[in-house]
Amino acid sequence: MPRTKTYSLRRRLLLWLLVPLVAIGLIALADTYNEAVDTANAVSDRVLAGSALAIAERVVVAENGALEVDIPYVALEMLTSAAQDRVFYRVDGPDGFITGYQNLPVIEGLGQEESGYSDATFRGEPIRLTSLYRAASTGATSIPFVVTVAETTIARTQLAQTILLRSALRLAILIGSAAAIVWFAVTFSLRPLYRLRDAIAERNPDDLHPIEQSVPKEVRGLVDTVNSFMGRLGSALGAMRHFTGNASHQLRTPLTIIRTQLALSSRAHSLEEARRAARIGDEAVAHAERVIAQLLLLAKVDQAASEQLKSLGAVDLTELARTLTADRITHAHAAGIDLGFEGEEALFMRGEPMLLGEMIRNLVENALAYAGSGAEATVKVLREGDNVMLEVEDTGPGIPASELETVRQRFARGRAGDKPGAGLGLPIVEEIAALFGGRLELSAGAEGRGLRVRIRFPEASA
């Protein structure tokens, strides 16, 4: 048989934890990088704006009416704190370029006294620039001008990367710590299951008592299911042991008789003696067959009871009893018994037809076996209130009132002890009846003669 594939619950839990955590971590890192870029820009843009403002304050109107600017290099030095970055500037007046880097881009579309920021490329390098629109006063009028300051983005990128790397390190530590915590938490949480495994492994194979091990609430249902299975298994094994024990006990006598008669027939001095031994042996074989048949039926009833039959269909008890009674008419006639049936109305109860048939057959066989020649036996099916009643009554010798409870027990025999039988007929009938909600009643027949067996079943709709 191929081996069932197994997997580690601990590893599966870790996988379910780590995959979402890594996905969330990547999303968080992407958001962190954007935030880091914004933060780096916010810090550096403030310095960039300060440099542009410092230059704008040094723009004046000369005597000839032209704009002049005295670049304060201190303002540019503020931007060169990072040695790897380079700084560019440009000043434009109404007539165009005044000083600085002429090809440096300028932010267009801003109004007077407004400023703006933008990313661009200059000399093949990415830059961050700001343009400040101002006006220089001549007393009578004002002359507009634009100051543009830019710097390369190496320091900004490094700052953003530093923030990102530190965030990634923190997330890695967090995910690693979470994985370690889950690993130890799962290991600790699985200890009750390990104890349950050890407790079951240490059990004797014959020990089918319920498991009382303390387990987590989530596993309680599994333990209850195992307990239920062991209960059913115990019932099945008990029924099997009961069957084998009963079979061994009940078959010992007929087998002994058979062996004895075979020995007698081998030493017989005449054909008549041999035939008599063979006849007695044959009767013992027939008795053994009846015992085995009833034991098998009893085992079938025990199995049906342990399986707790569900979804039973409605059975027409009248039709079933009528059919089985008709089948035994010839046998009853040979035994000198008048067998009859009473019941016209179709009455239904819930059950399993095969077992119900065995129950009725046992009742009829008991009546034919013990009533005696010249007796009458009647099978009846009638309604009594909310119940359907099956009744088998005979006019034979009956059973003393003191023995009515005894004959309900397995292997207890009433009436004539020399009659064939194993004492299982009525116990089988009672167990089948109980299986379908029936109640068995034993009493004397009409006028105190014979035996009346009544079984009441709850009525069911067709």
Is residue 200 included in any domain, yes or no? no
Cα dist from 149 to 89, 103, 143, 171, whole Å? 4, 12, 20, 38
How would residue 2 be classed by pLDDT, with cut points 50, 70 and 90?
Answer: low
In this structure, are 321 and 385 located in the same domain?
yes
pTM beyond 0.95: the answer is no
Q: What is the domain range of residue 418?
A: 313-458
pLDDT of residue 143: 86
Tell which wins on pLDDT, 132 or 4.
132
Q: Judge whether residue 418 has pLDDT over 60.
A: no
Question: What does the DSSP assignment read for 227-267?
Answer: HHHHHHHHHHHHHHHHHHHHHHHHHHHHHHHHHHHHHHHHT
In this structure, are 321 and 301 located in the same domain?
no
Q: Judge whether residue 254 has pLDDT over 60.
A: yes
Q: Judge whether residue 337 has pLDDT over 70.
A: yes
Q: Judge whether residue 281 has pLDDT over 90.
A: no
How would residue 340 be classed by pLDDT, with cut points 50, 70 and 90?
Answer: very high
- Stretch 251-270: mean pLDDT, rounded? 76
In this structure, are 303 and 327 located in the same domain?
no
307, 335, 354 — which closes off a domain? 307
- Stretch 136-160: mean pLDDT, rounded? 85
Cα dist from 254 to 257, 286, 362, whole Å? 5, 9, 21
- What percentage of residues in the chain have a pLDDT greater than 90? 14
Under 8 Å between Cβ of 458 and 437? yes
pLDDT of residue 75: 64
In this structure, are 303 and 263 located in the same domain?
yes
Is residue 4 included in any domain, yes or no? no
Instruction: Tell me the average pLDDT of the chain.
Output: 80
Any idea what the CATH number is for the domain that residue 35 is in? 3.30.450
In this structure, are 344 and 275 located in the same domain?
no
Is residue 407 included in any domain, yes or no? yes
pLDDT of residue 1: 46
β-sheet with 125-137: strand ranges across: 96-100, 87-93, 142-152, 125-137, 115-122
Q: What is the pLDDT of residues 153-200, one digit of tens each?
A: 888 888 888 888 998 899 889 888 888 888 888 888 878 888 888 877
SS3 of 93, please? strand
